[in-house]
A and B are shown apart, each in its own frame.
Chain A
Amino acid sequence: MSHSAEYWLEALHGLGFKRPVRIMNVCGGHERTISLAGLRGAIPGNIELVPGPGCPVCICPEEDVFEAIQLALHEDIILVTFGDMLRVPVNVPKREPRSLEQARAAGGDIRPIASPSEAVRIAKENASRRVVFFAAGFETTTAPVAAMLAEGAPDNLLVLLSGRLTWPAIAMLLDSEKAGFDALIAPGHVATVMGPEEWQFVVDKHNIPAAVAGFRPDTLLAAMYSVLRQLKDGKRFLDNCYQEVVLPGGNREAQRQLNEVMQVGDANWRGVGVIPDSGFALRDSFAAHDARRHFRAYADDSRKRVGEMPPGCDCARVVLGKIYPNQCRLYGLGCTPRKPIGPCMVSDEGACRIWWSSGYRENEWEGRKKRQSVG
């Protein structure tokens, strides 16, 4: 991208597109740049930037986190997981551990890792024990888990897989009566792995402009300009504003490995429900590494009913872009990064956490109450 952020800001203002427009992003990385760089305050006031389903930790089914906690507490295993998962709360009676962090304090051997390679190393160093890798993530993160298994993991390494695909959540929103957005910024690193073509349906089936963006303000602003220009000109196409990284077809070797190790099926999203063809599961040929087949299921069907967001928490509507983080009644009041109630305040990719870290402190409900009491 040869133009600067200033260039694209000027272009956005010069476009003269006055209609209110809502642009959704589906990546915590995009939302972080938008919030940290203060792009909402810099772009024309008729443009709303809506964070959508871009946080895999937030939508990881509660019953999967519960399962991981129970495995760590009741089986003789080492549980490894990406650090973001440790503080995700589950709905249990007060006396029981409500997160992996609390399960670790209660004696579970739970270790945060930053890479699937670390899971392999820990399994090799502890050859007499079983190591369970609780792996939540979107395509970008699930592909390395597939690579880890395709390359050949130690026999004692099992995977509790909670991988999800991003585009089916957008397809579900668009198929619903109220999608809630007029244009889409597609996630750059998902497209790096899976190819930008995955997002073509947004344009072809729904006539909604879309652009793949990277993570610097200039590429995000270029994508905003692209979709607004498309709306203004009445033309629709899938633009790629991250061409330096996102190649046509994506990373085909990574896709081959994903396909070798995993299959795609219907999957539950926390607070959202089952989305067709949105989840990864290990193929039969990798059953020996599948923690779901190796251990009894601690989370029964009733778990899936209680397994929604914590009481009072509006993460589900935040995830779907129905409300902004500070429109949740708990935002910044009962729920802060120090004492999170919902997963969107736990994860670095969660919209609530990103907004809080970027300095948005006023809860809209609280502000309204204050204004009412003053008036």
Chain B
Amino acid sequence: MCLAVPMQIKTIDDFQCVCEARGIEREVSLFMLQGEEIGPGDFVLVHVGYAIQKVSAEDAASSWELFDEILAADA
């Protein structure tokens, strides 16, 4: 349940934003990152629809290598 996936912010409206990863878009809350400088294009680690931390583009990419393996294993 503690799985968190990195996603890229597309648009922000107050504390709500739309994030994208692997072509899938999700509404994500930035409420737990209020006070952080954050904007479209940034990557965040998303857990149960809430961004829990900012991450770099490189770390987001390498995390997705693992998820791709997990998804392939589940398929």
Asked if residues B2 and A151 are in contact (CB atoms below 8 Å), the reply is no
Greatest chain A CB density within 10 A among B3, B55, B69 is at B3
- Nearest CB to that of A242 among chain B residues? B59
Dominant secondary structure at the A interface: helix
A257 at the interface (CB under 8 A from B): yes
B56 adjacent to A117 (CB under 8 Å): no
Pair B55/A245 contact, Cβ less than 8 Å? yes
Cβ of B2: which chain A residues have Cβ within 8 Å of it? 27-29, 137-138, 140-141, 187, 189-190, 349
Cβ of B50 and Cβ of A147 under 8 Å apart?
A: yes
The reply to whether B3 and A116 form a contact with Cβ atoms under 8 Å apart is: no
**Mask of B53-73 contacts with A, CB within 8 angstroms, 1/0:** 101100100110110011001
Given A189-B47, A251-B32, output 13 extra A-B contacts at Cβ < 8 Å: A36-B69, A36-B70, A55-B1, A114-B49, A143-B32, A144-B47, A147-B31, A147-B32, A190-B2, A215-B3, A216-B65, A216-B66, A349-B1
- Tell yes or no: A366 within 8 A of B by CB: no
**10 interchain pairs (CB within 8 A)?**
A117-B27, A118-B49, A140-B47, A151-B15, A187-B2, A189-B2, A189-B45, A245-B45, A245-B53, A253-B32
B12 within 8 A of A: no
The tally of residues in B whose CB lies under 8 Å from a CB in A reads 31
Closest 7 CB pairs of A and B: A115-B49, A144-B50, A140-B2, A254-B32, A244-B59, A189-B2, A147-B31
The interface centre, meaning the residue of A57, A143, A150, A190 with most chain B CB atoms within 10 A of its CB, is A143
Q: How far is the CA of A150 from the CA of B50 in the complex (A)?
A: 13
A 205-218 binary contact with B (CB < 8 Å = 1; else 0) = 00000000011110
A/B pair count, beta carbons within 8 Å: 109
Write out the residue numbers on chain A whose beta carbons fall within 8 Å of the beta carbon of B31: 147, 150-151, 257
Cα distance A358–B52 in the bound complex, in angstroms: 28
Please tell me which one of the listed residues B29, B52, B66 contacts residue A192 in the complex, with CB atoms under 8 A apart: B52
Q: Is A240 interfacial (CB 8 A cutoff)?
A: no
Given A116-B50, A147-B50, A254-B52, A189–B4 Cβ distance below 8 Å?
A: yes
CB contact between B53 and one of A27, A28, A57, A192 (< 8 Å): that residue: A192
Contacts of B34 in A (CB 8 A): 253
